Structure 1
């Protein structure tokens, strides 16, 4: 996609209308900040199940957990410039699932108390995680936005016409799985938060890929 001819006056044309989808991100930032910082909650539903206790804390999962930002933003940038139909479907998936998630956070406020009080090891990774815990709240966790975002990136990359080689698809899926796993091994989420994201992802895929106006590459091959 060549954006050298882009002007704001052309934003409603067929060629550049998709650029308006980027407006969702500042809107989402406002919504999330309101829910996290300003929305008064009397009490939270604590997300926990017995399976959470069987999952050990592992600081090495910090790497895929943080790679989520590269994975999601990188996919958005790649599709925005090189596969606009895939970008549009991915953004619609994000808008659908993230908006529903914000409504759930308002109606069903959740938290988790899984973070270790004392780390089993002292190293650079655990020290970084300890610092990370100080500003990343343990509220509004179900469903997991980390999971939704990684699945959105996975669907977006699988949808790209130039990325249909088997090894690329395999790497894309493995990365998404590692990111999802990192949320529970980092004690950022209960396994319940991960499972709650699954039906949302299925709904988003149905609405934004299976019923899309433009047939996706993933559906064709």
Structure 2
């Protein structure tokens, strides 16, 4: 209990996420000069409304695993949150100068899943697309989880299977295109290498610990 109470104040850092959401919304209304970067591959990907379920579950996925990281390994939690903040700020700069859009399908049939998709469409205009925030945050959590020790195998499977479904859901519900996904994963991988690998190496080096990677 004392351990939980000691780490609980770190959860206040999560308040930065709603602040980032406000900036996102401010940038999500520039319809002029928005560029369509979809490819023929994107056009061949079918619209599957069933994928709106993992797409919406992204909200719970991100917050639940950040809270889990906080209590399991606070250093990993802080690094993960910092990576998300920096990556999203970079995305916002890109949105401001290079706004892209995604062609959305016309939804005809009236059923529960299609209504969910339509609800997302009304809440999130198709302009802040490259890179994808959905993919960016999900892939960050997936990579950061590799540094959480002593995880149950079911937990590991849940992180990566759920994360993968969320990432591909952005394509099947036509919220993003392939370049949006690739751009996000490239950005996260670059920042991850700095925050989780390079800085860790330097910290160990300064502490006098010899760190040698296995070939």
Is 1:77 equivalent to 2:67 in the alignment?
A: yes
Contact 2:130 2:180 in 1 (8 A): yes
Contact 1:61 1:185 in 2 (8 A): yes
Q: Which residue of 1 aligns with 2:191?
A: 204
Structure 1: segments with no counterpart, 5+ residues: 8-15
Contact 2:48 2:172 in 1 (8 A): yes
Shift of 1:19: 5.9
Q: Which residue of 2 aligns with 1:174?
A: 161
Please say which of residues 18-27 and 198-207 is displaced more in the overlay: 18-27
Secondary structure of 2:191's partner? Answer: helix
C-alpha separation in 2, matches of 1:134 and 1:42: 18
The alignment's TM-score, normalised by the length of structure 1, stands at 0.80
Contact 1:97 1:204 in 2 (8 A): yes
Contact 1:141 1:189 in 2 (8 A): yes
C-alpha separation in 1, matches of 2:46 and 2:31: 30
1:38-94, CA deviations, whole angstroms, 9 ceiling, x for partnerless residues?
xx5641111210001111111111111111111100011111223201101211221
Contact 2:7 2:74 in 1 (8 A): no
Is 1:185 equivalent to 2:206 in the alignment?
A: no
C-alpha separation in 2, matches of 1:74 and 1:5: 19
Matches within 5 A, 1:148-159: 148-159=136-147
Shift of 1:3: 5.8
C-alpha separation in 1, matches of 2:110 and 2:7: 51
Matches within 5 A, 1:58-207: 58-113=48-103, 115-119=104-108, 121-163=109-151, 165-207=152-194
1:106-155, CA deviations, whole angstroms, 9 ceiling, x for partnerless residues?
11111111x21134x54211122123212220111011000001112212
Structure with more of its chain in helix, by fraction: 2
Secondary structure of 1:43's partner? Answer: coil
1:11-52, CA deviations, whole angstroms, 9 ceiling, x for partnerless residues?
xxxxx7x56744532431332232124xx5641111210001
Q: Which residue of 2 aligns with 1:13?
A: none
C-alpha separation in 1, matches of 2:78 and 2:181: 25
Q: 1:3 to 1:44 in 2, by over 3 A?
A: same
Is 1:30 equivalent to 2:26 in the alignment?
A: no
Structure 2: segments with no counterpart, 5+ residues: 205-212
The alignment's TM-score, normalised by the length of structure 2, stands at 0.82
C-alpha separation in 1, matches of 2:84 and 2:42: 27
